[in-house]
Structure 1
Amino acid sequence: MNDKYLRDIILSFMIAGKDTSAASLSWFLYMLFINPLVLEKVVQEIRDVTSSHEKTTDVDGSVESINEEALDQMHYLHAALSETLRLYPSVPVIVMTFFQMARVNKGDNIYYIAYAMGRMTYIWGQDAEEFKPERWLKDGVFQPESPFKFISFHAGPRTCLGKDFAYRQMKIVSIALFHFFRFKMADEMCNVRYKRMLTLHIKGGLHLCAIPRTHI
């Protein structure tokens, strides 16, 4: 291990995590807008965990409140992010090359569609297409699903190395955004659709209006 190796690892994290995290946060914001009760619960959790009722103009104080302990207590936020990734996985189609398996020839490519798997009723139940963060909670505590069921970060030895980093990043950004701003869609009649790419972006982007909060 040397400086070049460490530099390459850092660059890989930055490049691999940039578009995927940005796309996930865009879908997350959109899902909150069309599910106002979920948005209300997310904001309430931010208020309760960070005790940020009156500190919207205190940037330093706000940043200090987003610590490890606070992030670990954001169970509902974590559930809402996971539910977003279930319905809108950052990488909707995965291809893998197999080197040796009993029923697959060496060099064959195998595709699985994470976007479709996240919406299958026989995997997630009859409410599979509903945005329902509560499916991830038990007595208010986040309960992770098997990575072979929740496939957005892959599974087994191919599990995404940046999974925990991505969750931390999305939580921090979400907390900061909802601490200082209220949001609404610039065009509430806009037909939001995905764009066919390697990563699942919103076609044309998600255009928002940010309104400073006087209190959270």
Structure 2
Amino acid sequence: MALQIDQPEDILSRFLLEREKDPSEMSVKYLRDIMLTFVVAGKDTTSGTLSWFFFMLCTQPSVQEKVYREVKDVVDDAESLEDFATGITEAALSAMNYLRAALSETLRLYPAIPLDSKMCFEDDQLPGGLDVRKGEVVTYQPYAMGRMKYLWGEDAEEFRPERWLDEQGVYRHESPYKFTAFQAGPRLCMGRDFAYRQMMVFAAVLVRFFVFELGENGKAVKYKPMLTLYIDGGLGLRAFGR
């Protein structure tokens, strides 16, 4: 019996509809693995990045104010939180250039995966001329790369969302081989655009209706060495209604 799904709005239902067209191309195991990837790879990385994002907004009040002005201008006819959230359409997200820039700047300095490794499946040569052999592991560090003056200029350690905007204030993409938070090439994260949408909607709603400050004055915020870049002990915030 064929599965009947009307107007699916969740990603699993959409995959199931595609499977109905040709079950041989999409097994149940394949679907399970995709959904597990979204849950495992998307949950901790997204929540961790948002934590660092709000930390940076608290340390940079001028950036927080710029984000607020932008999201309010883009969805300017909504007074309630519910109406505002409903008004965040694809067109609205596309217009939130500064918010996306601030999130990318957060990921540059605090990448969700600070260190990553790849195994070589066959003999190869890296662009710099280094030979790698089958079975060898190559490790790179997005955390360190995001702070390299060689890549990002003399202000590499400064939180400056403007570096992601062109002269007209439009978001400017960087090469994934330079901005490695989502990896690059065939291994480019399949959930990158989904993650940006999720983080932008969440951040836009909160910044539109609340002002945030660090909750524990004087307490240093440090990361905890793990697979993902967690804030050690969590992030304490105070929120005030606008």
Confirm whether residue 211 of structure 1 aligns to residue 230 of structure 2.
no
Offset from partner CA, 1:142-198 (integer Å, 9 cap, x none): 000111111111111111111101100100110111123222111121101111001
Question: Are the equivalent residues in 1 in contact too, given 2:147–2:156 (CA < 8 A)?
Answer: yes
Q: Which residue is 1:106 aligned to?
A: 134
CA offset digits 1:10-29 (Å, max 9, x no partner): 23112210000011000000
The residue number in structure 1 matching 2:57 is 32
**Equivalence for 1:172:** 201
In 1, the alpha carbon distance for the partners of 2:81 and 2:57 equals 24
Structure possessing the higher relative contact order (Cα contacts under 8 Å, 6 or more residues apart) = 1
Aligned residue number for residue 210 of structure 2: 181
Where in structure 2 are the equivalents of 1:48-63 lying within 5 Å?
48-52=73-77, 55=79, 58-63=80-85
Residues 64 and 207 in structure 2, CA contact (< 8 A), matched pair in contact too: no
| Structure 2 residues without counterparts, runs of 5 or longer | 1-25, 126-130
Letter in 1 for 2:91: E
Which residue number in structure 1 is paired with residue 128 of structure 2?
Answer: none
1:193 counterpart = 2:215: no
Aligned partner of residue 132 in structure 2, secondary structure: coil
User: Once the two structures are superposed, what CA deviation does each residue of 1:22-43 show, in whole Å capped at 9, x if it has no partner?
Assistant: 1100000011111111111000
Question: Residue 122 of structure 1 aligns with which residue?
Answer: 150
Secondary structure of the residue that 1:141 maps to in structure 2?
Answer: coil
Partner of 1:23: 48
Distance in 2 (alpha carbons) for counterparts of 1:40 and 1:181: 11
* Structure 1 residue identity aligned to 2:132: V
CA offsets 1:39-85 (integer angstroms, 9 cap, x no match): 11000001100105x61xx2431221111111111100000000000
Give TM-score scaled by structure 1 length. 0.93
Q: Distance in 1 between matches of 2:118 and 2:181?
A: 14
CA shift for structure 1 position 212: 2.5
Equivalents in 2 of 1:7, 1:210: separation in Å?
38
TM-score by length of 2: 0.83
User: Aligned residue for 2:119?
Assistant: 97
* Residue 133 (structure 1) aligned with residue 161 (structure 2): yes
* Equivalent residue pairs, number: 210
Paired position in structure 2 for 1:45:
70
SS of equivalent to 1:176: helix
AA of the residue aligned to 2:105: E
Q: Distance in 1 between matches of 2:33 and 2:159?
A: 37
Query: Are residues 149 and 204 of structure 1, via their aligned partners in 2, closer, same or farther at CA, if it must alter by over 3 Å?
Result: same
In our comparison, the structure showing a higher alpha carbon Rg is 2
Alignment-derived partner of residue 144 in structure 1: 173
Distance (whole Å) between structure 2 residues aligned to residue 36 and residue 59 of structure 1: 22
- State the distance in 2 between where 1:70 and 1:6 align: 31
Paired amino acid for 1:136: W
Structure 1 residue runs without a partner (length 5+): none
